[in-house]
């Protein structure tokens, strides 16, 4: 994912390990030993085409005929301005760093407890990380897993056999096992809406990291069948959140500010076939007309997020994105994308009525 400018303050390793032992690694948790000492089971890299979520999720909803927000034009101008005033007016394609590294694991993958690093200065172990049902307990994480590059060091673990997925933020495998600053678990992925509940999850909005990432298999197939995660520099202030986002790290108080969770659509009237775009950008444009973008995080530039190729490269020596980009630098993939033709959907679009 993209950096969020949070303070970095790491607790001494001895204190962290002690907290973990007290919170969730007692005698009844002997199977949750250090990941660094456990063999890997069968692992699948990269992610399945269109990701692990189903039609039940927000990522698979067709919004081509959805109504527009009253302030759609103002929000579209806001977003276009965030593109044009940075990096030569070309949005980022986060393929080398600040993306989502994915690992699918088997039912036999050994489990471990993730040690919590207090990099945000919380001061005490947050409730829900440890103990029965704890988010950081019993994680089937391969010792060979490679997080995404960049300071976010994001990692997604998906276990189809148990219908469970974990997202981690600032994760690292050290001599005493895996450590992470934050993350969370989604149970019943097959019926999930595609986001974490409570305060858990690795993105600022609580939305899944992989749900909106441009997948390697999708880029190879030439088609994206889900909504796309979009990170922007200036989301609306954190008190203004649009479902399906669960929270926000934004700060913009202007009337046309874009809340995290906002769904944006490329105008369906745009003839994508006539646009002078890289093939990957054309795939993104077509998906943006049917499924749209969902604003998931704050970043240094407007950025489309991808599945990291780091895991494939670790196994094969080759990053598949190199061939997929056909010699075009990542910072030019989104050149000429029609950001000025985006449309914003109403706040909380698609939220279930209670």
Give the integer Cα–Cα distance in Å for 342 and 85: 17
Q: What is the pLDDT of residue 212?
A: 98
Which stretches of the chain drop beneath a pLDDT of 70?
Answer: 1-38
Helix then strand then coil, % of the chain, to nearest 5: 25, 20, 55
In the block, which residue shows the tokens 């889900």?
Answer: 226
Q: What is the pLDDT of residue 38?
A: 59
User: Mind listing the pLDDT tens digit for each residue in 80-94?
Assistant: 999 999 999 999 999
Q: What is the pLDDT of residue 41?
A: 76
User: ∠ CA(310), CA(315), CA(317), 5° rounding?
Assistant: 75
For the chain, first and last CA: distance in Å?
Answer: 32
Where along the chain do its domains lie? 13-44+99-191, 58-98+209-344
User: Mind listing the pLDDT tens digit for each residue in 260-317?
Assistant: 999 999 999 999 999 999 999 999 999 999 999 999 999 999 999 999 999 999 999 9
| Pairing status of strand 303-305 against strand 263-266 | unpaired
pTM score of the predicted model:
0.89
Q: Which tokens hold the place of 272?
A: 């994508």
Q: What is the pLDDT of residue 28?
A: 30
Q: What is the pLDDT of residue 18?
A: 36
């Amino acid at each position: 994912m993209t950096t969020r400018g949070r303070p970095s303050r790491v607790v001494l390793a001895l204190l962290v390990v002690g907290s973990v032992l007290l919170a969730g690694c007692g005698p009844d948790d002997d199977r949750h030993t250090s990941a660094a000492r456990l063999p890997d089971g069968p692992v699948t890299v990269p992610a399945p085409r269109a990701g692990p979520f189903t039609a039940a999720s927000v990522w698979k909803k067709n919004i081509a005929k959805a109504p527009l927000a009253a302030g759609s034009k103002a929000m579209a101008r806001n977003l276009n301005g965030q593109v044009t005033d940075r990096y030569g007016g070309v949005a980022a394609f986060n393929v080398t760093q600040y993306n989502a590294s994915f690992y699918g694991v088997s039912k036999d993958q050994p489990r471990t407890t993730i040690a919590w690093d207090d990099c945000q200065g919380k001061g005490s172990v947050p409730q829900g990380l440890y103990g029965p049902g704890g988010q950081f307990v019993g994680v089937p994480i391969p010792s060979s897993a490679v997080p995404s590059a960049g300071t976010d060091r994001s990692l997604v673990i998906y276990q189809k056999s148990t219908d469970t997925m974990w997202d981690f933020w600032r994760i690292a495998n050290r001599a005493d096992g895996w450590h992470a600053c934050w993350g969370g678990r989604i149970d019943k992925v097959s019926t999930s809406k595609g986001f974490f509940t409570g305060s858990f999850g690795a993105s600022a909005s609580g939305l899944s990291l992989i749900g909106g990432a441009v997948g390697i298999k999708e880029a190879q197939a030439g088609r994206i069948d889900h909504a796309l995660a979009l990170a922007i520099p200036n989301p609306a202030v954190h008190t203004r959140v649009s479902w399906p986002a669960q929270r926000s790290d934004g700060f913009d108080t202007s009337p046309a500010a874009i809340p995290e969770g906002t769904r944006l659509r490329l105008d369906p009237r745009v003839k994508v076939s006539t646009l002078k775009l890289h093939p990957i950008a054309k795939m993104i444009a077509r998906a943006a007309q049917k499924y749209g973008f969902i604003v998931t995080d704050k970043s240094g530039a407007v950025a489309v997020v991808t599945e990291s190729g780091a895991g494939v490269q670790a196994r094969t020596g080759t990053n598949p994105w190199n061939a997929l980009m056909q010699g075009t630098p990542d910072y030019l993939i989104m050149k000429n994308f029609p950001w000025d033709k985006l449309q914003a959907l109403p706040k909380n679009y698609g939220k279930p009525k209670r």
